[in-house]
Amino acid sequence: MKLSVIGCGYLGAVHAAAMASIGHEVVGIDVDDRKVASLSSGVAPFFEPGLQEILTAGLASGNLRFTTDISEARGAEVHFIGVGTPQQKDGHAADLTFVNAAVDGLLPHLAAGDVVAGKSTVPVGTAAALSPRIEAAGAVLVWNPEFLREGFAVTDTVDPDRLVVGIDANATGAEPAIEKIRSVYRPAVAKGTPFIVTDLATAELVKVAANAFLATKISFINAMAEIAEVTGADVTQLADAIGHDVRIGRRFLGAGIGFGGGCLPKDIRAFAARAEELGRRDSVGFLREVDAINLRRRERAAALVVDALGGSVVGKRVTVLGAAFKPYSDDIRDSPALDVAVRLRGLGADVTVTDPQAIENARRQHPQLTYVQDRDDALRNADAVIIVTEWDEYRRHLTPEHAGSLVAGRVIIDGRNCLDAVAWRAAGWSYHGMGRP
């Protein structure tokens, strides 16, 4: 099928390349000419495993191209909207400027029978508000939320665990529109991936509810970590024990410095803001607690370093392992890792940050920090080390003996509870986990 994808950021670039990889003819459209130039020349503008390969293959096959000219959306049967919905500068609600601009730009190029498929994460009610203009152009609006995880974005797009399509069932052309979406995702549908057809509001809510649930799960275990810290309990063993209950499950019970990234933090805030607009402030009031618990863990990690160094970090060399908000990503949006690094510098430490992928992005945002690409160089002469992004380079491939041969002081703070405390202690390190004795 001929598809257009409007917005070539994380979501859109991956979606465009992934759709080309399953045989569609795709044009990716973005207002940012640098991004378009980079994608057109076959260079992925961010680090995402597998993206480079499908981008190169898509361009070579002629199935994939990128442009800044929205009129090139003309002729596509399905137009995906994958622009960003960042947090508003002066509040917690989502900023819908880019969604509105994408729809405005697209309208003159729509043909009767076209499908506009919103993928961006939006406040519930957005699709219903956009729908009349799209219907007036003879096209149909569906909402088809995206659940991709950074680091697994290509797999999550080509082989998702579910497909959700919201539509106004009474809209003219609703049935053919659903069939078009089913055709877009034919390989996944053919292998039995759940394909859930629902109304527009439910589709919008599925996305924010999923992210709210995941954020709540992480903050729940981090709240338990706070209790463990005053009782001598071990939150990692607690998580293992409750995680055996299949109703609970062990995933997303990783206590540590908490969640960050371009989605969970802003999505729970936007959800709370939208609930308030709807007169249901109390219904998701707990999300404010979820956010507060999450932010407290960053503070706690910095405090652990201070305690471990005897009450002050002033003039102490602290090596921060990680800058990305999670491994397999160079994304530093709302990264708890960088937040901890900035806090430590604010407390007077001499901070050195290393990360396998995210240094360039981190440097742009926080030029005041010292960055060292090589892990071992970064560790040399450190008085304390804190691991804040659980890259394999730090979690699996760094032994306490090797690290011990580089540092000045064997003090390690495990901001992700990802190290073997017994092994590090046995090698003479003073080990401090989050919510662990």
Distance of closest approach, residue 138 Cβ to ligand UDX, in angstroms: 31
> Which residue has its beta carbon closest to ligand UDX?
254
User: Residue 57 and residue 337: Cα distance in Å, rounded?
Assistant: 34
Pick from 11, 17, 6, 115: which is nearest to 69 by CA?
6
Distance of closest approach, residue 11 Cβ to ligand UDX, in angstroms: 8
Distance of closest approach, residue 350 Cβ to ligand UDX, in angstroms: 26
Residue with tokens 């680091």: 151
Q: Regarding beta strands 140-143 and 163-167, do their DSSP bridges make them parallel or antiparallel, or are they unpaired?
A: antiparallel
Closer to ligand UDX at the Cβ: 74 or 250? 250
User: Residue 281 and residue 18: Cα distance in Å, rounded?
Assistant: 38
Closer to ligand UDX at the Cβ: 135 or 229? 229
Distance of closest approach, residue 317 Cβ to ligand UDX, in angstroms: 25
Question: Which of the following is catalytic: 103, 184, 253, 263?
Answer: 263
E strands, 232-275, are none
Q: For residue 263, indicate whether it is catalytic.
A: yes
Identify the bridge partners of residue 117 per DSSP, sorted by sequence position: 80, 142
CB 141 within 8 A of CB 78: no
CB 416 within 8 A of CB 254: yes
Closer to ligand UDX at the Cβ: 63 or 389? 389
Q: Regarding beta strands 411-414 and 430-433, do their DSSP bridges make them parallel or antiparallel, or are they unpaired?
A: parallel
CB 338 within 8 A of CB 367: no
Closer to ligand UDX at the Cβ: 109 or 394? 394
Task: Count the residues in the chain.
Answer: 437
Interface residues with ligand UDX (CB under 6 A) are 146-150, 211, 214, 218, 252-254, 256, 258-261, 263-264, 325-326
Give the gyration radius of the chain's Cα atoms. 23
Query: Considering Cα of 151, then 156, then 158, then 159, what sign does the dihedral take?
Result: positive
Closer to ligand UDX at the Cβ: 253 or 385? 253
Distance of closest approach, residue 253 Cβ to ligand UDX, in angstroms: 6
User: Residue 120 and residue 401: Cα distance in Å, rounded?
Assistant: 47
Closer to ligand UDX at the Cβ: 261 or 435? 261
Distance of closest approach, residue 263 Cβ to ligand UDX, in angstroms: 3
Catalytic residue numbers, as ranges: 263
